[in-house]
Chains A and B, each alone.
Chain A
Amino acid sequence: MSQLSQKHLLGIKNITREDIELIFETARSFKEVINRPIKKVPSLRDITIANVFFENSTRTRLSFELAEKRLSADVVNFSSSTSSVKKGETLLDTVNNILAMKVDMVVMRHSSPGAPHFLAKHINANIVNAGDGTHEHPTQALLDTYSIMEKHGSLEGLKVAIIGDILHSRVAISNIFALQKLGAEVMVCGPNTLLPKFIGALGVKMELDVRKALRWCDVANVLRIQLERQQIKYFPSLREYSLYYGINKKMLDELDKEITIMHPGPINRGVELNSDVADSEHSIILEQVQNGVAVRMAVLYLLAGGKD
């Protein structure tokens, strides 16, 4: 099989294990490409991609833009803060206007869960979800699982703990789906207030004690505390969170085992991760960033391929 089962990448939930494996296989080839002296291939030279970001992003947007440019696609960028959305235009109108200029693919980030799904029903172009509210962030999950696979060989039977703000995290949801599809065991860990009520229904273990979670897992994916999404206080103070859930080198040394530390960025140094962990040999944070470009190239390449 050399084709994805979907026309869009809206979430990990609706793609298959075979899709994920195909993306990984293709990403491996692109990783070789981006490590060449000339990092560019002409595959998407007749394609125009719009990066439509209704929500702030640095890393994801940069990563997508690089991926698009290394595939030779034409790229237009759009951010809501400088656009007509401020003047009251609807999402569908905005995107239709962009598509009227002959754009083939849309990479979209939006603060409302389901926004890309809505769009997929109404427009013809391929859509890649670059994060929709607290719902899914599929390419982040793909690059996370790809990075784990690169380090551990396979995810089958691997124990992965997702630690931190699960409630507000689209990265967590997408990661849970991806990890489970690839055969890993998943645990979520965080203060009670930041664990969604029904997360157990997804078949994941729940843990309140971060030390126990670290003892259990082979890989810890530490998430950022998303202060911008918290309208009410979920814990007394950052200092207290860091005291109970912050991970430092001493905790890892006490474990006396191989453990991989990941973080989707941006890190709040000294809150969820101490600098001595973020910069340690356990951390694969910068590999994640590099793999992000390769994985996104693979997604765009596979979605754009095939006849219209």
Chain B
Amino acid sequence: MQKKLILDTHLLNITVNRLCQQLIENHGDFSDTAIIGMQPRGIYLAEMIHRKLESDINRKIDLGYLDTTFYRDDFRRRDTPVKANTTKVPFIIEDRNVVLIDDVLYTGRSVRAALDAMIAFGRPQKVELLVLVNRKYTRHLPIEPDYVGKDVNTMDTQKVLVELEAQGFKDNKIWLINKESE
């Protein structure tokens, strides 16, 4: 199995800092904006960005977790049902801006499900998408991110593996893996 490192701790910090600066540029003091991390893995990045933003602008920012399991379009098309995670959106998103955060953008199907899931909490003014890794040319739906940590060109036979300290790994490492040919 071939592995290529695309981001390490040092680079990840630089990237997260840049993403935060871009967010501040567009959202100012975040009084009208909430951050929502997508379960299961987008929440770690969302927490990192949330922590950094709060310390940069010195203000509390709303942070939520959104689970899209029950909104997926592949129910009954997989062999087993997907296990659900916690949804925690303890604020109103009606008429507010929402920054949706996930680790890897691949087919765009989870983002579609997330948009559906979010509507259950109100009608946001505007939704933006932030992803750490944007896999280009792999989309199944017309969905594009507004903020990108890193663009990568990948093939279907490849996989992006995200290992973050917050998930219990020793170091922050993001890999591009060639799936073993069967």
Contact = CB atoms under 8 A, between A and B. Distances in A.
Given A36-B120, A41-B71, A42-B71, A29 B87 contact: yes
Interface stretch (B30-38, B43-51, B78-86): B78-86
A196 to B, nearest CB: 37
Given A304-B76, A305-B81, A307-B79, A32 B87 contact: yes
B84 A306 contact: no
Contacts of B83: 2, 22, 25-26
Nearest to A39: B120
B77 interface: yes
B67 interface: yes
B69 interface: yes
Given A32-B86, A37-B121, A307-B76, A42 B116 contact: yes
A66 B117 CA distance: 20
Q: Which of B80, B81, B119, B122 has the most CB of A within 10 A?
A: B81
Interface residues of B, number: 24
For the side of the interface on A, what is the size category? 20 to 34
A2 B86 contact: no
B137 interface: no
Interface string A11-43: 000000000001001100110110011101111
A33 B70 contact: yes
A304 B75 CA distance: 9
Given A38-B120, A41-B71, A42-B71, A3 B81 contact: yes
B76 A26 contact: no
Given A3-B80, A37-B121, A305 B86 contact: no
A304 B76 CA distance: 7
A105 to B, nearest CB: 12
A302 interface: yes
Nearest to B119: A38
A306 B79 contact: yes
Q: Which of B67, B70, B75, B85 has the most CB of A within 10 A?
A: B70
Interface in B70-105: 70-71, 75-88
List 4 tightest A-B contacts by C-beta distance, closest first: A305-B81, A41-B70, A29-B84, A3-B80
Interface of A: 2-3, 22, 25-26, 29-30, 32-33, 36-38, 40-44, 46-47, 71, 301-302, 304-308
